[in-house]
Amino acid sequence: MSDLIDDPSPGQNVPELSVSEISGAIKRTLEGTFGRVRVKGEIGRVFRAQSGHLYFDIKDNKAVLASIAWKGVAANLRTLPEEGLEVVATGRISTFGAQSKYNLIIDDLSPAGVGALMVMLEKRKKALEAEGLFAPDQKKPIPYLPDVIGVVTSPSGAVIRDILHRLRDRFPRKVLIWPVVVQGEKCATEVAAAIRGFNALAPGGPVPRPDVIIVARGGGSLEDLWGFNEELPIRAVADSVIPVISAVGHETDTTLIDFAADIRAPTPTAAAELAVPVRVDLLATLASFDERRLRGLAQGLGQRRDRLRDLARILPKPQAILGERLQSFDGLTARLDGALKGLAERKRRELAEKTGGFGPQILKGFLRERNDRLIGANRMGPTLARLVSTKRDQLKRTDRLSPDLLRRVVIKRDQDRLAALDRMRQTLGYMETLGRGYAVVRTGSGAVVADLAAAQTQAALEIEFRDGRLATANAGAPSKKPKATKPPAKPKTGGDQGSLF
């Protein structure tokens, strides 16, 4: 037999496999054996690719397991991988043949117990605190009496009923409820969206903008409250323009949103108490303030009254001030009669002194002066005679003018004056008045009728218009045919003199 086989050696009958075939066989074997596993360990390095995939290591003190969370899974992980966090990873084992590696393909990731959550919570708190999200100078004051209160909580829990009941007992206010999920994967996203939604409301819009926001939830375990430890709601609270009151859990429960809020309430009921004052207490306070005001006003008036009374004691008596003045007045009154008599006597003497020069001599001198002026005027007789002779000579020279020329000048002057007088007569005459729509009523004998009583006594009347006269019979008198007459002819005015009659 040995002669029939060339170079016999053990294993020569095993079939040959390619690298891809052996890699695929290993992959199928691992995925078939470890199709669903849960691995507990500490997260090592973490790398997020630009594609959105997460690459990280899960290790213990002896081995390292490379892990991958594809983009779609990484976006929905409740717990993001952080270096040093102890987790429980759920997934399947697969291989990466190009590098001869095997990996854990992650489907879910959760902290390994409360201790791991506490470590991650403390680490996240330090990171957010380093960014200044918990700084005291970022806190906003809570309004004393808000008009509208926004509440972010579950609409079906006991929390919202406790808040509304407490607000109704203390000071009823308008409440806007933004319903959210307060536990689970969607909690952080919905709470952050509710806070940002309240801030996006326009002041004075159809939906009133809250003056304060209450984020509330009942008590629970650390895992139940974990949504309020995520970065999304914490950053939304830190960016909120509206003051935020955190009321998550009971007194012993603490979440990171408590540090970002403007004030923390131990319970949801306490949050309602922090939001509004007690109406009865407020009324009592206002009443006490009003009482203090009235008491202070009365005390101030009393003090000023006492001060005025003290100052009045220092002032002199009115009798003392007026007594001296009255005495002086009486003295002046007694001296008044004698002073008036003395003044009249003095004025009389002054008048006598000033009129003493007016006597007969003054009158004689005045008459003498007038007589001299009259004599001087008589001496001017020849001068006046010469002036009269000069005027007479001038008059004689006018006789030399042609009589016809003088007559035409005089006639022309008289005609102009006569025409002017006629124009004045026409302007002032009643015919111009008739042209403006008036009429003259006369009796049959031509007498003017000025009132209704006189007209009623006439049997016939004559009415003169601008362009003629109309005779008419009065009521009760026999009718006569109206006869129109022409107005009297106007006198002619022309270039020649004409007749005045």
Question: When comparing pLDDT for 450 and 295, which is higher?
Answer: 295
Question: When comparing pLDDT for 36 and 210, which is higher?
Answer: 210
Mean pLDDT of 284-306: 92
Query: What CATH class is the domain 19-112?
Result: mainly beta
Closest to 222 measured CA to CA, from 102, 115, 143, 311: 115
DSSP state for residue 156 in the 8-state scheme = T
Q: What percent of the chain has pLDDT over 90?
A: 24
pLDDT digits (tens, 9 = 90+) for 297-356: 999 999 999 999 888 888 877 777 787 788 888 888 888 888 888 889 888 888 877 766
> pLDDT-based confidence at 497, cuts 50/70/90?
very low
What is the structure's pLDDT at 492?
44
How is residue 85 written in tokens?
């966090």
CATH number of 122-277: 3.40.50.261
Give the number of other CB atoms < 10 A from CB of residue 375: 8
Q: Tell me the CA distances in angstroms from 130 to 84, 124, 138, 238, one per residue in order.
A: 19, 10, 14, 13
Identity at 496, one-letter amino acid code:
D
Give the number of other CB atoms < 10 A from CB of residue 116: 21
> pLDDT-based confidence at 215, cuts 50/70/90?
very high
What is the structure's pLDDT at 476?
46
> Who's near 234: CB < 8 A, 6+ residues apart?
128, 133, 256, 257, 260
pLDDT digits (tens, 9 = 90+) for 29-78: 877 777 788 888 888 888 888 888 889 988 887 888 889 998 888 888 87
Question: When comparing pLDDT for 371 and 241, which is higher?
Answer: 241
pLDDT(95) > 90? no
pLDDT digits (tens, 9 = 90+) for 452-465: 887 878 778 888 88
Q: Is residue 129 exposed (0-12), middle (13-18) or buried (19+ Cβ within 10 Å)?
A: middle
pLDDT digits (tens, 9 = 90+) for 113-154: 656 667 777 888 888 889 999 999 989 999 999 999 999 999
Question: When comparing pLDDT for 261 and 99, which is higher?
Answer: 261
The phi and psi torsions of 319 (rounded to 5 degrees) equal -65, -35
What is the structure's pLDDT at 495?
44
What is the structure's pLDDT at 46?
86
C-alpha to C-alpha distance for 167 and 177, rounded to whole angstroms:
14
The phi and psi torsions of 121 (rounded to 5 degrees) equal -65, -45
**Mean pLDDT taken over the chain:** 80
How is residue 3 written in tokens?
């002669």
> pLDDT-based confidence at 496, cuts 50/70/90?
very low
Spacing of C-alpha 207 from chain mean position = 23
Q: How many CA atoms lie within 13 A of 295 on its CB side?
A: 6
**Where are the domains positioned within the chain?**
19-112, 122-277, 406-485
Mean pLDDT of 14-43: 81
> Who's near 247: CB < 8 A, 6+ residues apart?
159, 214, 215, 216, 217, 264, 265, 266, 267, 268, 270, 271
What is the structure's pLDDT at 493?
44
What is the structure's pLDDT at 322?
80
Question: When comparing pLDDT for 14 and 81, which is higher?
Answer: 81
What is the structure's pLDDT at 72?
86
Pairing type for strands 174-179 and 101-111 reads unpaired
pLDDT digits (tens, 9 = 90+) for 398-427: 555 556 666 777 788 778 878 777 777 777
pLDDT digits (tens, 9 = 90+) for 351-387: 877 766 666 666 677 777 777 776 765 665 566 566 6
Strand, helix or coil for residue 265? coil
> pLDDT-based confidence at 177, cuts 50/70/90?
very high
C-alpha to C-alpha distance for 165 and 174, rounded to whole angstroms:
13
Query: Maximum distance among all alpha carbons in the chain?
Result: 210
> pLDDT-based confidence at 491, cuts 50/70/90?
very low
What is the structure's pLDDT at 402?
58
What is the structure's pLDDT at 279?
86
Number of residues written out for the chain: 501
Tell me the angle at which helices 231-239 and 114-130 cross, rounded to the nearest 10 degrees: 30
Which residue in the block uniquely carries the two structure tokens 């005609």? 415
Closest to 216 measured CA to CA, from 283, 297, 273: 273
C-alpha to C-alpha distance for 284 and 290, rounded to whole angstroms:
10
> pLDDT-based confidence at 12, cuts 50/70/90?
low
Closest to 482 measured CA to CA, from 457, 466, 461, 455: 461
Buried-state track 64-86, b at ≥16 Cβ within 10 A, e below 16? ebbbbbeeebbeebbbbbbeebb
Question: When comparing pLDDT for 20 and 131, which is higher?
Answer: 131
C-alpha to C-alpha distance for 263 and 216, rounded to whole angstroms:
12
pLDDT digits (tens, 9 = 90+) for 179-205: 999 988 789 999 999 999 999 999 888
